[in-house]
Amino acid sequence: MQTDSLLDLQAPVMAYGMRVGSEPQAPVSEEEALAEGLVVRKLNAWYGSFQALREVSLLVAPERITAIIGPSGCGKSTLIRCFNRMHEVAPRARVTGQVLLRGKDIYAPATDPVLVRRRVGMVFQKPNPFPTMSIFDNVAAGLRLNGFLVRRSELADAVERSLRQAALWDEVKDKPNRPATELSGGQQQRLCIARALAVEPEVVLMDEPCSALDPVATLKIEDLMRELARNYTIVIVTHNMQQAARVSDYTAVMMMADDRAGEMIEFGPTREVFTNPRDKKTEDYITGRFG
Amino acid sequence: MSGFAYRRRKIASIVVLGLCASSAFVAVGVLALILGFVLLNGINYLNLDFFTHMPTPLGEPGGGVANSIVGSLLIIGVAALIGIPVGVGAGVFLSEYAGARLGNIMRFTADVLTGVPSIVVGVFVYSVVVLKMGHFSALAAGIALAIIMLPIVARSSEEMLKLVPRSQREAALALGITRWRTILSVIIPAARRGLVTGGLLAVARAGGETAPLMFTALGNRFWSLSVTGGPIDALPLRIWRYGIGPYDEWHQQAWAASFVLVLVVLAISLAARLVLTRR
Amino acid sequence: MHVGRGGSTTAAALARRRPWRIGNLGDALSRTVFAGLGLSLLALALLMAYELVLESRHSIRAFGWGFLTGTRWDPVDQVFGAAPAIYGTLVSSVIALMLAVPVSLGAAIFLSEMAPPWLRSPLSFLIEMLAALPSVVLGLWGLYVLVPWVRDFVEKSSLGHLSFIPLFDGPPFGFGMLAAGLILAIMVLPIITAIARDVMQAVPTSQREAMLALGATRWEVILGAVLPYCRSGLMAAVILGLGRALGETMAVTMVIGKGYNITASLFQPASTAASTLASEFNEATYNLYISALVELALILMGITLLLNILARLLVWRVARSPEVIAE
């Protein structure tokens, strides 16, 4: 079902060529997601008596970028906060359903949320480095404060490694002890990414990571994401459809139902979702008729 | 609106606002009056002897308040050692752990405790500590001052900890850092300036207290360095005893001691405010 | 350069080595510790109340409710009645408020509404310094400066002309209710000023602008827009000041003299509950005496508690009044 308006979106998909758009993407295989990625089964989430998510199911492919898009308020952030058990930190928050990380349910009764959060990292919308710590200390925070007994030399290596992965090393290698607050917004966000990477998670969640940044910084982070996807499973929430089209391998579309609960409408390879959506609601959203 | 009525309102406004302005300056004037007298009367007696000597036998000229100063330091040391950690801990509980209802009850209790007259605290510590120990002591006095400091430090710590933005807590939690580690290594350091200010202000407040010391430290004309050994003197106690005493010499020393006490208390208060605004 | 997962010493590997486990010892422990520290507040308050009641049981048993109405305080005859002390406490505090509240409000209005920014901070700071002065120093000043002044300028001059009014009938010693009221006013002034100034500054500019747009003079803006808006805060300020006045000990003790009676005269020496405690506690030699004094302390604590509850109720009630909800 191709219309003229959808052609507009093919342009960015085509222009940024590279992985997205040049190779046909197959749908996510459930075996693969179970073995190495994330499987979400019938997830419901509440804040008190308000239901924020209803029966959400999703497959997240390993070592790929999955974007979650949808109009504001549809529960995108709530969804990914369920992936690292941050949702339950909110008062009177509740979750039912399953989220399987490499096949094991993170909401199984005897599971420690702290351990989950070390395996599933998160980068927030507004960069939030620890203001009382230096750049070095920020990146090392996860390692130090988790009680990992790391020798000084190992710590320095890990910090350098993370900063290189976050494409920030060259800019800060001469001043690792400066306060983190001296960095620009884009640099601070990359610092937060480095900090998240330092504990070597399996999945990295990004909640609208570029919405507080200028376009140049945004592009840098998008490039960074594609690099990281070589080794990490990335899930990004974005309200910017063009960004989703540019950057992601798979896209999941969410919508708000009449009672304001969030529902998963469809998900699949980005190219398919944008050029050949199965659900009319997706088409409406993407062409701007709604949301 | 007739011009005359408006003029009358305008004049009324100017008069009342003039009164308000003069009120402010009356307040400052009173401060100046008090500080002025303390300064004028106290500075005459200040010399090195005053700080280094002990009180002379009754009625004899000379002597100093060395033991009072040391006693004050000892007592406040004990008080801070007890009051500040417990107060900050209570503040942490109020800010990070307590639910709405428990929090309200605790805040109300803290406010009530803040309002309890310090002399009542002195009576309380007398019956609970002094009677049990059998004698007066710096420890009892320190406990009394710690009780006075506790609710003040708890409330101010809670306010300062609450100021740390939620994004900090989320960032730490998302890294898989445990709650207690987050509090100790992220939140408290972030709030440290405010916590220090709260502590300093509480110390300044406790340092000037006399009433609770009357029944716990009692006062002592002789040297004492012992925390649990017996009565000990403190600067406010000395001011009190000498101030109402029969000798003129004593009155002069009371003024001088007042000068010192006021100076120290004001200096600590000033330092507390500077910590918050400068560093 | 090692990128991504893998290796046996990396963080992820360390984390994976530990099996999924239940709970977290550190969190549970710290929660308990902090809860203990927090609950110490409650424990302290309860313990204080309990201990005071316990120690005053002799006196309660001996005098019952008569303690509150009895007017004789005689350690020799072992008769104790707290009425004059309570009377003194209340009257001195009321005088203090009557003197301090207008000045405090005026100063707060000046600081909040009139003072130029460069004056506001230093002036506020100075007034707060007044609050930091130790009470014993104020007492000393009161004793050697205020009392003679009251004696010479107020009492002696009114002695001839006004002594037919019971309020001004009394020996011109300087000590007495008037001096106590004055010194309490000085101590209470900075507290009320600071809180009043804060609540006034918190009034939104839109309120003032609305009033100005109606053609009000500056004073009318304050009277009509600012003061009503922060009514509850101002009440809280006054109540806080009252609380301070009721419990103030050293300064009052040094200027109030040691009269133990209920009289309308401002010039008679008098007593407050706190001054009685301060003067006599160290000299109490037998159980009933001590117990009576502790009962005084208990009464003081009770008044404080009542005042706090009253303040909370007032603020709660005003906060729910129609005008505020309508906003």
The backbone region for C17, taken as left when phi is positive above 0, alpha when psi lies in -120 to 50, beta otherwise, is alpha
CA distance C220 to B10: 9
Contacts of residue A44, Cβ cutoff 8 Å, sequence gap at least 6: A51, A53, A54, A55, A56, A95, A96, A97
Strands A65-69 and A250-256: parallel
List the one residue out of B49, C222, C227, C20 whose CA is nearest residue A85: C20
Assign residue C117 a region (left: φ > 0; alpha: ψ between -120 and 50; beta: otherwise).
alpha
Taken in order of first residue, the domains within chain C and their CATH numbers are 82-326 (1.10.3720.10)
Best probe of the B interface among C32, C34, C226, by most B CBs < 10 A, is: C34
More confident residue, B274 or C161: B274
Q: Are B189 and A144 in contact (CB under 8 A)?
A: no
What's the fold here for domain A4-23+36-286? Answer: Rossmann fold (3.40.50)
Could you report the per-residue pLDDT of B249-266, keeping only the tens digit for each?
889 889 999 999 999 999
The residue ranges of every structural domain in chain A are 4-23+36-286
List the alpha helices (DSSP H) in A120-204. 135-145, 152-165, 169-172, 185-198
Over residues B25-36, the pLDDT tens digits come to: 999 999 999 999
Residues contacting A235, CB < 8 A, separation 6+: A38, A60, A65, A66, A67, A68, A80, A83, A203, A204, A205, A206
At A126, the amino acid letter reads K
- B167/A126 Cβ within 8 A: yes
Interface contact flag, C20 A108, Cβ < 8 Å: yes
| pLDDT greater at residue B14 or residue A19 | B14
**Which amino acid appears at position B40 of this protein?**
L
pLDDT in the model for residue C21: 40
Question: pLDDT tens-digit profile of B206-265?
Answer: 999 999 999 998 888 888 888 888 898 999 999 999 998 888 888 988 999 999 999 999
Residue from C2, C10, C16 to probe the interface with A (highest A Cβ count within 10 Å): C10
Classify the phi-psi angles of A120: left when phi > 0, otherwise alpha if psi is within -120 to 50, otherwise beta: beta
CA C143 – CA C135 distance, rounded (Å): 12
> pLDDT band at residue B278, thresholds of 50, 70 and 90?
confident
pLDDT value for B66 = 84
Measured in whole angstroms, how far is the alpha carbon of residue B80 from the centre of its chain? 10
Query: Which residue type, as a one-letter code, is found at position B122?
Result: G
CA-angle at B148, arms to B144 and B149, nearest 5°: 115
Q: Tally C-beta pairs within 8 A across A and C.
A: 57
Angle between helices C177-201 and C83-109 (to 10 degrees): 40
Best to test chain B binding among A116, A128, A139, A146 (most B CBs inside 10 Å): A128
DSSP one-letter string for C33-55? HHHHHHHHHHHHHHHHHHHHHHH
Neighbouring chains of A at 3+ CB pairs under 8 Å are B, C
Determine the pLDDT at residue A2: 44
**To the nearest whole angstrom, how far is the Cα of A115 from the nearest Cα of chain C?**
7
Residue of C17, C19, B187, B171 whose CA lies nearest to A148: C17
Average pLDDT value over all residues in chain B: 89
Contact B170 A128 (CB under 8 A): yes
Rounding to the nearest 10 degrees, give the CA dihedral for residues B187, B192, B197, B198: 40
Interchain pair C4, A112: CB under 8 A: no
User: What pLDDT digit, counting tens, does each position of A132-170 carry?
Assistant: 899 999 999 988 887 666 778 888 888 999 999 999 999
Q: Residue A211 pLDDT > 70, yes or no?
A: yes
Question: Does residue A84 surpass a pLDDT of 70?
Answer: yes
Q: Smallest CA–CA separation between A121 and chain B, in Å?
A: 6
Each residue's pLDDT tens digit in chain C (327 positions)?
333 443 334 554 444 444 334 457 778 888 999 999 999 999 999 999 999 999 999 888 888 888 888 888 888 888 888 899 999 999 999 999 999 999 999 999 999 988 898 999 899 889 888 999 999 999 999 999 999 988 887 766 766 676 677 777 777 777 888 899 999 999 999 999 999 999 999 899 888 898 888 888 888 889 988 998 888 889 889 998 999 899 899 999 999 888 888 887 888 888 899 999 999 988 888 888 999 999 999 999 999 889 888 888 877 776 665 555 444
CB-based burial label for B76 (10 Å; 0-12, 13-18, 19+):
buried
Q: What share of chain C is helix, strand, coil (3-state, %, to 5)?
A: 75, 0, 25
Selection from B132, B156, B119 nearest residue B240 by Cα: B119
Please report where in the chains the tokens 């407040």 appear, as a residue.
Answer: B205
Compute the distance between CA of residue C326 and CA of residue A84 in angstroms, rounded to an integer.
42
What is d(CA A69, CA B88) in angstroms, rounded to the nearest whole number?
A: 44
pLDDT band at A24; cut points 50, 70, 90: low
Q: How far apart are CA C199 and CA C230, in angstroms?
A: 6
- Hey, which bits of chain A come out as E strands? 38-47, 50-60, 65-69, 93-101, 104-105, 120-123, 203-207, 233-237, 250-256, 262-269
Residues A90 and A47 sit within 8 Å (Cβ to Cβ)? yes
